[in-house]
Amino acid sequence: MRVGFIGLGSQGGPMARRIIEGGFETTLWARRAASLEPYAGTAAKTASSPAELGAASDLVCLCVVADDDVREVLYGDAGVLAGMNEGGIIAIHSTVHPDTVREVAEKAAEKGVSVIDAPVSGGGPAVEEGKLLVMVGGDEEIAERCRPVFATYADPIVHLGPLGSGQVTKILNNLLFTANLGAALSTLELGESLGIPRVRLAEVLNGGSATSKALGSIVVFGGTVEGLAPIAGALLQKDVRHAATIAAKAGVPEGTVFTVADTALKTMEFPR
């Protein structure tokens, strides 16, 4: 299987490298030439446009930031879909709204191209260990065709149901992470008001039964989210907004998890 990869950031870059090292014929494209420089000494080829990458690939993996970024690289005369051949597959590793995935799938179907959503969790370190979590939605047979590629950087690879299921799952994951941030921040503020040094309390809680990945992130940044906000604030805001629209469309109440997530977003100055 020939693989194309777009989105060579802190998570996508290591994923692309694992695919290359796994022996798959790989083509890369990036908006900035500097993003391609780390792959100059590898077996990877580079494309001059997303369309050229699409023409050279049986599977195109996208790990760009947001919904509009997905559309930008896929659509138009220079987009991936303009170059892909019938029978090709697009895997959307980005965390986007499930409606975006379904929109892409409709447009791709016109060219005989299949789409699965495959958002990921774990970050660069998990990729390096081959332990990234991939949440897959879409046709199971198509997902199985992609599994050997995903397995170069991921374990487990979980198929969750129809198209969009992977995105819903990832968005719920990020919603709960944001809520965990909010709960941790509220607890640290309470402790501080009761005379417990904030940094010490954060370290103790992180080592006990109250620990969480969110609390660990707060500890790394000295007991606050000042350092985390510029890195994750806008992304978590996007995902909590997506979660809210999904819940509203389904006609289900938001629940406590949104209330606590809003605490974190407001503290980071990225209110929903």
Please check whether residue 28 lies inside any domain of the structure.
yes
pLDDT for 124 equals 84
Pair 93, 173 in one domain: no
Regarding whether 98 and 27 lie in a shared domain, the answer is yes
Q: What's the confidence (pLDDT) of residue 192?
A: 96
Task: Pick the last residue of a domain from 109, 128, 162.
Answer: 162
Instruction: Specify whether 66 is located in the same domain as 155.
Output: yes
User: In terms of domains, do 128 and 212 share one?
Assistant: no
Q: Domain holding 100: CATH number?
A: 3.40.50.720
Q: Is 157 found in the same domain as 24? A: yes
Residues 63 and 195 in one domain: no
Give pLDDT, residue 169: 98
* 112 and 229, same domain (yes or no): no
Q: How many domains does the chain have?
A: 2
Are 212 and 131 found together in one domain? no
The CATH number of the domain holding residue 228 is: 1.10.1040.10
Q: State whether 202 and 151 are in the same domain.
A: no
For the segment 64-115, what is each residue's pLDDT rounded down to a tens digit?
999 999 999 999 999 999 999 999 999 999 999 999 999 999 999 999 999 9
- Pair 90, 182 in one domain: no
Q: pLDDT digit string (tens) for 9-31?
A: 999 999 999 999 999 999 999 99
Looking at the domain assignment, is residue 272 inside a domain? no
Domain boundary among 122, 142, 162: 162
Q: What is the mean pLDDT of residues 173-183?
A: 98
Shared domain check, 24 and 7: yes
Question: What is the structure's pLDDT at 62?
Answer: 98
254-265 pLDDT, tens digit each: 999 999 999 999
Q: What percent of the chain has pLDDT over 70?
A: 100
Per-residue confidence (pLDDT) for residue 234, from 0 to 100: 96
The predicted-structure confidence for 221-240, as pLDDT tens digits, reads as follows 989 999 999 999 999 999 99
In a domain, 253, yes or no: yes
Same domain, 67 and 174: no
Query: What phi and psi, each to the nearest 5 degrees, are found at residue 132?
Result: -65, 145
Catalytically annotated residues: 170
**Among candidate residues 106, 139, 162, the one where a domain is terminated:** 162
pLDDT confidence band for 123 (50 / 70 / 90): confident
Could you tell me if residue 201 is inside a domain?
A: yes
What per-residue confidence (pLDDT) applies to 219?
A: 95
Domain span including residue 184: 168-267
